Amino acid sequence: MEGNILIVDDDDIVVKSCDSVLAPEGFTITGTTDSSKAIELIRDNDYDIVITDLNMPGIDGFELIRQINALKPSTGIVVITGFTSQQNIKDILQLGIIDYISKPFSPHTLLETILKATYLIKKIKALSTAEPDTEPDAKKKTEALNNIIDEYKSVPGSLLRVLESAQDLIGYLPPSVQRFIANGLRIPVSEVYSVVSFYPYFTMKARGKHHIRVCVGNACHAKKSGQILTRLKRNLNFNEDNITADGKFSFETVRCLGACGFAPIVEIDYDTHGAVDPDKTLDILKDYH
């Protein structure tokens, strides 16, 4: 995994330890024990991730995070902290960081956290440069989305509700919509992306009027879910986005829907169909108009 990382900690041992774990994994590492120097480095370079301590002499981690967010808002921040009470963690996460590592930490924890953070930050950068979607009624939908945001923006913890309403309105949550919501709610786009990618309910891709999920997990595969998939593809003529030409159906494959005893499983919208006979795949679609 490639990634350009700055480590800021007044303890040289921490800087060197992080370097010794991450550099062999292919990351490009710069380390400093001086947080004022860190600000200069951030101004002059583009880091994917800044790993920072919170308690440092001079400019502390809190101020450093504020400055990173002002100077290079697309930088991912991972905090190293010795304070792990619930309140502290909540305060730290509200600074707009990607993740935190509690001291003392193992090389495995460090590597796993940084791999996840780097993956996430690259996705977020791709979101920020994605072209906005254009559709004929985009203006109307933008106004409606603005109304939803206005209704919820002063309600703490309302992101899920906004995303749910936005998905009902638009049908899915493409990068441009996620960015729009992040700007409207004045929260980092990373927060919106994390929620959208965490909940299977949300989708970043367009769907048909009825969405089919075919389970291809082990139990369903053993009971011939592959044949269900083949019949759907052969008869419904999906395009490259897995949507039929009339927009009526879309499909995706999933790994285990948690009902293995009734394999093979097909979900359509909110309905679960168990023990589906592949020969009768098309019959279960007849109830969806």
Site for ligand FES in 128-157 (CB under 6 A): none
Residue 218 found at the interface with ligand FES (CB under 6 A): yes
Least distance CB 225 / ligand FES (angstroms): 7
Residue 272 found at the interface with ligand FES (CB under 6 A): no
Residue 256 found at the interface with ligand FES (CB under 6 A): yes
Residue 219 found at the interface with ligand FES (CB under 6 A): yes
By beta-carbon distance, which residue lies closest to ligand FES? 217
Least distance CB 219 / ligand FES (angstroms): 4
Query: In the set 29, 257, 266, 276, which binds ligand FES (CB under 6 A)?
Result: 257
Question: What's the rounded Cα separation, in Å, for the pair 182 and 133?
Answer: 16
Question: What's the rounded Cα separation, in Å, for the pair 265 and 56?
Answer: 55
Residue 228 found at the interface with ligand FES (CB under 6 A): no
Counting residues that bind ligand FES (by CB under 6 A) gives 12
Least distance CB 212 / ligand FES (angstroms): 14
Contacts of 100 (CB under 8 A, 6+ apart): 78, 79, 80, 81, 89, 92, 93
Question: What's the rounded Cα separation, in Å, for the pair 88 and 103?
Answer: 14
Helix (H) or strand (E) run with residue 250 in it: strand 249-254
Helix (H) or strand (E) run with residue 127 in it: helix 107-129
Query: In the set 89, 115, 259, 284, which binds ligand FES (CB under 6 A)?
Result: 259
Query: In the set 22, 42, 220, 229, which binds ligand FES (CB under 6 A)?
Result: 220
Which residue, 206 or 254, is less far from ligand FES as judged by CB? 254
Question: What's the rounded Cα separation, in Å, for the pair 188 and 196?
Answer: 13
What spatial distance separates the first Cα and last Cα of the chain, rounded to whole Å?
A: 46
> DSSP string covering 82-106, please?
S---HHHHHHHHTTT-SEEEESS--
For binding to ligand FES (CB under 6 A), which residues are involved? 215, 217-220, 256-260, 263, 265
